[in-house]
Amino acid sequence: MVVLVTGANGQLGQALQSISGNYPEIDFVFCDSTRLDITDLNNIKQSFKQFKPDYCINAAAYTAVDKAESEPEKAQLINVIGAKNLAEVCKEYDTILLHISTDFVFDGTNKTAYKEEDTPNPTGVYGLTKLQGEKAIQETFDNYFIIRTSWVYSQFANNFMKTMLRLASERDSLSVVNDQIGTPTNAVDLAEVLISIIIKTQNSQPETRNIFGIYNFSNEGRCSWYDFAKEIFEINNVNINLSAIPTTSFPTPAKRPAYSVLDKTKIKKFFQVEIKDWKESLKACKI
Ligand SMILES: NC(=O)c1ccc[n+]([C@@H]2O[C@H](COP(=O)([O-])OP(=O)(O)OC[C@H]3O[C@@H](n4cnc5c(N)ncnc54)[C@H](OP(=O)(O)O)[C@@H]3O)[C@@H](O)[C@H]2O)c1
């Protein structure tokens, strides 16, 4: 079984690389942006012709939430055209696509966890392009899994946890918003779930493979960014004066959803995945 991973040097790409040795039955082909540019259709075709992947995990994306507000064309090119290109080539090569999307497709006005079928209404360019990317895939073919996730962190690449630890090494005090509620996701847990989806799909009979579609995945529980930062500092024995502030005191170019907890009933039911609580998973994340 051949699994091709795009965006292999990003956070999720590196998390996938870190666990790939646990799956000797899978031939992984890790492609970073220099080897495979998802905005270049011919480049994708060449890679698929060479490796003939059974599955493609699209870990490539434009992920700079605030910067996207000032460069929407670039976000659109990578998150929409890139996703569409991959879906077209996957269709041509009969490859199953696993594409990652985001809680930022929602506007955050829900009072209970977002289900897959809830109506998206992104509040910024990043969320909008990720939603358009989902739609471009859905309009191209049926053999996709779109996994929406939230607040991804890990020992790899740039993320909130690493930013907090860096800032704490430079300052005595820090303010973090406490009125945006969501769930952190350890990138390694997300990587494990993606492989689990592939293995379960591979082992199921072709006629029962009507399980394609959108799925939510994050760790269990919920918290604010302030709670998340507090836990990061406690686990890492960092002494810092941390204060909670409202979003209005920390204006950013992109408006973020006030509430973006994802309901994971569907993924647990279809793929029997056991999901760790976010605090437990954070403890397991070693820098
Ligand atoms: N991080 C989060 O908190 C979060 C939350 C919800 C959902 N997600 C989603 O999860 C997925 C993985 O995110 P991540 O945190 O791993 O992101 P990341 O660390 O920013 O990695 C994204 C990767 O995509 C690559 N890339 C950009 N343009 C490309 C192109 N045209 N062709 C090929 N590769 C390209 C980048 O490579 P270069 O650096 O070389 O450009 C980078 O390695 C994304 O779909 C993201 O939208 C993330």
Q: What is the pLDDT of residues 64-114, one digit of tens each?
A: 999 999 999 999 999 999 999 999 999 999 999 999 999 999 999 999 999
What is the pLDDT of the chain when averaged over all its residues?
96
Tell me, yes or no, whether 6 lies in a domain.
Answer: yes
CATH of the domain at 212: 3.40.50.720
Tell me, yes or no, whether 229 lies in a domain.
Answer: no
* Confidence grade of residue 265 (pLDDT, cut at 50, 70, 90): very high
Tell me, yes or no, whether 211 lies in a domain.
Answer: yes
Q: For ligand 1, is residue 188 a contact (CB within 6 Å)?
A: no
**Neighbour order of strands in the sheet with 27-30:** 27-30, 2-6, 55-58, 96-102, 144-149, 213-216
Contact partners, residue 227, CB within 8 Å, separation at least 6: 178
* Confidence grade of residue 247 (pLDDT, cut at 50, 70, 90): very high
Q: For ligand 1, is residue 152 a contact (CB within 6 Å)?
A: yes
User: Which residue's CA is the nearest one to ligand 1's atom 41?
Assistant: 33
pLDDT tens track for 13-71: 999 999 999 999 999 999 999 999 999 999 999 999 999 999 999 999 999 999 999 99
Q: For ligand 1, is residue 90 a contact (CB within 6 Å)?
A: no
Rounded distance, CA 78 to CA 83, Å?
7
Tell me, yes or no, whether 162 lies in a domain.
Answer: no
Residues composing the chain: 287
Overall average pLDDT of the 243-272 stretch:
96
Is residue 199 exposed (0-12), middle (13-18) or buried (19+ Cβ within 10 Å)? Answer: middle
Ligand 1 atom having least distance to the Cα of 13: 16
Radius of gyration of the chain (CA): 19
> Has residue 271 got a pLDDT over 90?
yes
The predicted structure's pLDDT at residue 209: 60
C-alpha angle 282/272/182, rounded to 5°? Answer: 40
User: Which residue's CA is the nearest one to ligand 1's atom 21?
Assistant: 10
CB atoms within 10 A of CB 284: 11
Rounded distance, CA 95 to CA 73, Å?
28
- Write down the catalytic residue from 55, 62, 114, 126: 126
> Is position 126 annotated as part of the catalytic site?
yes
Tell me, yes or no, whether 242 lies in a domain.
Answer: no
Among residues 37, 140, 31, the alpha carbon closest in space to that of 84 is found at 140
The predicted structure's pLDDT at residue 94: 97
Q: For ligand 1, is residue 38 a contact (CB within 6 Å)?
A: yes
Q: How many domains does the chain have?
A: 1
Crossing angle of helices 187-203 and 11-19, rounded to 10°:
60
The predicted structure's pLDDT at residue 205: 67
Report the separation in Å between the CA atom of 235 and the middle of ligand 1, taken as the mean of its atom positions.
27
Report the separation in Å between the CA atom of 78 and the middle of ligand 1, taken as the mean of its atom positions.
10
The predicted structure's pLDDT at residue 287: 75
Q: For ligand 1, is residue 120 a contact (CB within 6 Å)?
A: no
Tell me, yes or no, whether 216 lies in a domain.
Answer: yes
pLDDT tens track for 206-217: 655 668 999 999
Tell me, yes or no, whether 252 lies in a domain.
Answer: no
Ligand 1 atom having least distance to the Cα of 61: 24
User: Which residue's CA is the nearest one to ligand 1's atom 44?
Assistant: 61
Rounded distance, CA 285 to CA 154, Å?
6
Among residues 241, 222, 92, the alpha carbon closest in space to that of 176 is found at 241
pLDDT tens track for 118-155: 999 999 999 999 999 999 999 999 999 999 999 999 99
Report the separation in Å between the CA atom of 11 and the middle of ligand 1, taken as the mean of its atom positions.
7
Q: For ligand 1, is residue 197 a contact (CB within 6 Å)?
A: no
Rounded distance, CA 156 to CA 169, Å?
18
Domain hosting residue 59, numbered range: 2-155+185-220+261-276
Tell me, yes or no, whether 17 lies in a domain.
Answer: yes
Residue of 11, 14, 103 with the most ligand 1 atoms within 8 Å of its CB, for mutation: 11
Token pair for 138: 């859905």
Q: For ligand 1, is residue 150 a contact (CB within 6 Å)?
A: yes
User: Which residue's CA is the nearest one to ligand 1's atom 45?
Assistant: 100
Q: Sign of the C-alpha dihedral, residues 212, 215, 219, 221?
A: negative
